[in-house]
Amino acid sequence: MTELVRTVAATVFLVLMSGCSASLAPVVDIYGQDTRQRKVTSGTHHVREGETLYSIAWRYGWDYRELGAANNIPAPYTIYPGQRISLALKQTSTAPVSRPRSVTSSTTSSSTTSKPASKPSSKPAPSPAPVTKPAASKPAVSSDSGSRTVGPVTWRWPAGGTVVEQFSASSSGRKGIAISGRLKSPVIAAAEGRVVYRGSGLTGYGNLLILKHNDRWLSAYAHNDAMLVKEGDVVKAGQKIATMGATGTFRTQLHFEIRRDGKPVDPMQYLPKQ
């Protein structure tokens, strides 16, 4: 009887322990529900080894410039393990700040020097020539049928294969596309840029690369098998940067994202039509 009680107690203990360990490290798949789709605006993040401000901003839905400015971290956005990054901030605009027009010397002198009223001039002051605003940039397919230029960035497909998951704008939807393919098939840079993150610290992304194309545009390549570039490397459009894998997911595929000012956009609106 005593032996039976011991056996039952041991079994219950093992079940409880297995349940606790599962709750400590939940597996979140970005093809199901991603718990970090909305911008997080509370709490703090403690920087761990291997993280960059770009990866932290990506994780919490921030633009890296916003997060850097809010935490007094200037370019080139260097951070250190153990550093605290505050997320309890109001969202700020990343649009360029418009500067007031410069004041002409004549205007300045008239505003600072008091003159008696005089007879109105027979000829009105010439009005400044109207400023012609450049036409809004429209997506244009380049002469190379394998690429598409949208604004300042020329995009191409990051891998061969079939698109099996589409972008979703809903708060719980996936923020990129999934391209199925063969294990170890090439993953290429969708546009020229610089590697700003290489690691596996973002839950649900597996082996992840993030490229910065300019101040506004980033792209990400997830679930890689091998990653062939390192942080700081400058890569050309079409350069092989990784091989397709199944890290952090349930099948061999590439999860590809494009973000503008920290916000996910539909890659299908920027990639050339197949």
Give the rounded distance of the alpha carbon of 14 from its chain centre. Answer: 41
pLDDT for 145 equals 64
Residues of the chain with pLDDT under 70: 1-38, 90-145
Q: 175-222, pLDDT tens digit by residue?
A: 999 999 999 999 999 999 999 999 999 999 999 999 999 999 999 999
| φ, ψ for residue 211, nearest 5 deg | -110, 140
pLDDT for 170 equals 79
pLDDT for 172 equals 72
- Distance from C-alpha of 75 to C-alpha of 186, rounded to nearest angstrom: 32
pLDDT for 224 equals 98
pTM for the model stands at 0.69
pLDDT for 55 equals 94
pLDDT for 169 equals 83
Which two tokens mark 31? 């093809």
